[in-house]
């Protein structure tokens, strides 16, 4: 099994309800072809390096997955026939990816993320809405007056 990464740029003028079917099709296609979706990372709207289909911006999505050549071919075929997809690029990350090890790493990272959010919720003390007068830091007053400059000293002598 090989590990791939595909960057997809979708038309930025589409709403969430119109982009959703494109992304759902990707999520469905990977398991259908015997692959494993490692990460689906939506980067959001960004400025393009050059104009594509008379657009200055695009909605970026990065898909990290394991699968075979037939999966990549089918995904790219879907992108070619869908007018909502402006550009795509697939890169081979690893020729000999171990799916079991990747799944273990994914489950470990999910478990760590869950414990981190639980710990933050328990340890986070409630912050008071306003600090009391005792809690506000006093402004530091200068202990000594600054030395007068020569022009100030001459004015005082006159």
Query: Could you tell me if residue 30 is inside a domain?
Result: yes
CATH number at residue 90: 3.30.70.60
CA distance 142 to 138: 12
Query: Could you tell me if residue 148 is inside a domain?
Result: no
- Per-residue pLDDT of 72-117, as tens digits, reads 999 999 999 999 999 999 999 988 877 777 877 777 777 777 777 7
CA angle 121, 127, 133 (to 5 degrees): 165
Give the lowest-confidence range in 36-40, 85-89, 104-108, 146-150.
146-150
Does 143 have pLDDT greater than 80? no
Query: Could you tell me if residue 111 is inside a domain?
Result: no
Query: Could you tell me if residue 71 is inside a domain?
Result: yes
Query: Could you tell me if residue 119 is inside a domain?
Result: no
Query: Could you tell me if residue 108 is inside a domain?
Result: no
Owning domain of residue 39: 2-102
CA distance 145 to 104: 67
Query: Could you tell me if residue 153 is inside a domain?
Result: no
CA distance 75 to 154: 84
- Identify the bridge partners of residue 41 per DSSP, sorted by sequence position: 62
Confidence at residue 7, expressed as pLDDT on a 0 to 100 scale:
95
Query: Could you tell me if residue 138 is inside a domain?
Result: no
- What is the CB-side half-sphere exposure of residue 80 using CA atoms within 13 A? 6
What is the four-CA torsion angle of 139, 144, 148, 153, rounded to 10 degrees? 130
Number of domains in the chain: 1
């Amino acid at each position: 099994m090989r590990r791939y990464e595909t960057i997809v740029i979708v038309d930025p003028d589409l709403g969430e309800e119109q982009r959703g079917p494109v992304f759902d099709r990707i999520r469905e296609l990977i398991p259908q072809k015997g692959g494993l979706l490692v990460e689906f990372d939506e980067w959001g709207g960004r400025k393009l390096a050059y104009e594509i289909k008379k657009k200055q911006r695009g909605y970026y999505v990065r898909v990290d997955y394991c699968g075979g050549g037939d999966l990549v071919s089918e995904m790219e075929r879907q992108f070619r026939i869908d007018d909502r997809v402006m550009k795509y690029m697939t890169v081979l990350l690893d020729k000999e990816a171990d799916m079991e090890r990747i799944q273990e790493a994914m489950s470990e990272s999910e478990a760590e993320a869950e414990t981190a959010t639980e710990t933050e919720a328990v340890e986070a003390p409630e912050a008071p809405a306003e600090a009391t007068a005792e809690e506000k830091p006093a402004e530091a007053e200068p202990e000594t007056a600054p030395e007068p400059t020569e022009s100030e000293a001459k004015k005082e002598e006159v």
